[in-house]
Amino acid sequence: MKKILLVGVLVSSFLFYAQDDPCSNTSTLSVTGDFNVEATGSYPMIIPPQNISGSGSGSQIFRKNVDIKLSLGSGDVFESCIVKLDLQDFDDGLQFDIDGTNLLNFQQKHWDNTFGGNTTEFNGEGRFVTSGGMWTPWSGQGNPKLEISTGKVQLMVDTKNGGREDALPFMDSTVADWKLISTFTYDCLKGFNLLIGNQNGGGGPSGINAKLTVEAYVGPCNTNTSFSLQDDNNKITVGSCTCNAKNDGSLALSIEDTKYNYTISVSGVSDPIKISGTNKTANVTGLAKGTYTVCFKVDENPDYEQCFEAVITEPNSL
């Protein structure tokens, strides 16, 4: 039986496995401290969104302190554990610690060149400026999402060309108080402490409105028939229409694992798209504004199928 994942998305990579049969477990994922909530038995186990919010001024910061632990059931198989922070808005930076070690710390001075940051991507015509003259995370511009997994921290933000990119590499790491450590590990099975929230260098307003979630992937799956690819194997980057009613939207499709051949269908497009051999990319052009269902299939395993919903937009009417 195919398991099809329909996810409302605008862009590239997503942390999901496609399995022939549902995985089962008797494990429990728990979050305690400022939040007390748990999830059990599902694949993945997902802690429902927990609010991190606050508003003030000056150097005030608003953080939550939680302990995260996965209790593995007998015979269960641990795969991965991921922390996500969906940000409605923040002013004007972010920070988090794991087990007392600060791993991320940035403020406006690290991304705004009017505050001294040596970067052009958050002001003027920069890639993260989707409206106005600068990126304004305090208005939620760019739909930022912080994703934390072992050895990897990403702040995914919309770009003006309709895609999404990690904004952290474009910030100025030479300005004082910058911190980004990606060589860390955390162990959900042993448990770890997370302290997470906004950062502010002082002056002006300060605040955050965000939702914290934790996902744990635990099997076992049916090893006789199950098939999976790496978490970020199937990717989509959306190119929005440049003018109203101009059908010049696009979808850039890509895969990571070239051991297999892929057939990709896009709703409203009559011919399937093929990616095979050493090729890793394909493009669909001439698309109108709308929502498209994009499904990746592996030719060598007909039971595998992973689907996404990609939204192509167009500028607002003048």
Which pLDDT belongs to residue 225?
52
Confidence band, pLDDT 50/70/90 cuts, at residue 286? very high
User: Residue 104: is its pLDDT beyond 90?
Assistant: yes
Is residue 271 scored above 80 in pLDDT? yes
pLDDT of residue 13: 30
- Give the list of residues 6+ apart from residue 315 with CB closer than 8 angstroms, or none: 240, 241, 242, 243, 244
For residue 202, pLDDT over 80 is answered with no
Round the average pLDDT of the chain to a whole number and report it. Answer: 87
CA atoms of 98 and 291, how far apart (whole Å): 38
pLDDT at 149 over 90: no
| Most confidently predicted of 17-21, 72-76, 172-176, 307-311 | 172-176
Strand partners, 213: 84
Contact 295, 283 (CB under 8 A): no
Tell me the CA distances in angstroms from 251 to 15, 60, 95, 261, one per residue in order.
19, 42, 33, 19
**Token pair listed for 90:** 């923040």
Q: Model's pTM, two decimal places?
A: 0.64
Which residues neighbour 30 within 8 Å (Cβ) at sequence distance 6 or greater?
37, 38, 68, 69, 70, 71
| 170/7: higher pLDDT | 170
pLDDT confidence bin for 3, thresholds 50/70/90: very low
Query: What residue type is assigned to position 245 of the chain?
Result: A
Cβ neighbours for 121, distance < 8 A, ≥ 6 positions apart: 111, 127, 128, 167, 170
pLDDT in tens, 9-62: 333 333 333 333 457 789 999 999 999 999 999 888 999 999 999 999 988 999
Q: What average pLDDT does range 259-276 have in this prediction? A: 92
User: Mind giving me the DSSP string for 191-248?
Assistant: -EEEEEEEE--SSSEEEEEEEEEEEEEEE---TTT-----TT-SEEEEE--SSTT---
Cis-peptide, bond into residue 44, ω within 30° of zero: yes
Sorting pLDDT into bands at 50, 70 and 90, what band is 226?
Answer: low
pLDDT at 17: 33
Q: At 246, list the tokens.
A: 């101009």
Task: Give 316's DSSP letter.
Answer: P
- DSSP state, residue 121: S
110-126 pLDDT, tens digit each? 999 999 889 999 999 99
Instruction: Report yes or no: 238 and 158 within 8 Å, Cβ to Cβ.
Output: no
Q: Is 93 exposed, middle or buried (0-12, 13-18, 19+ CB in 10 A)?
A: buried
Measuring CA to CA, which residue among 201, 175, 218 is closest to residue 45?
218
DSSP codes, 249-279 = EEEEEE-S-TTS-EEEEETT-SSPEEE-TT-
Lowest mean pLDDT segment, chosen from 75-89, 93-107, 120-134: 75-89
- Does residue 228 register a pLDDT over 80? no
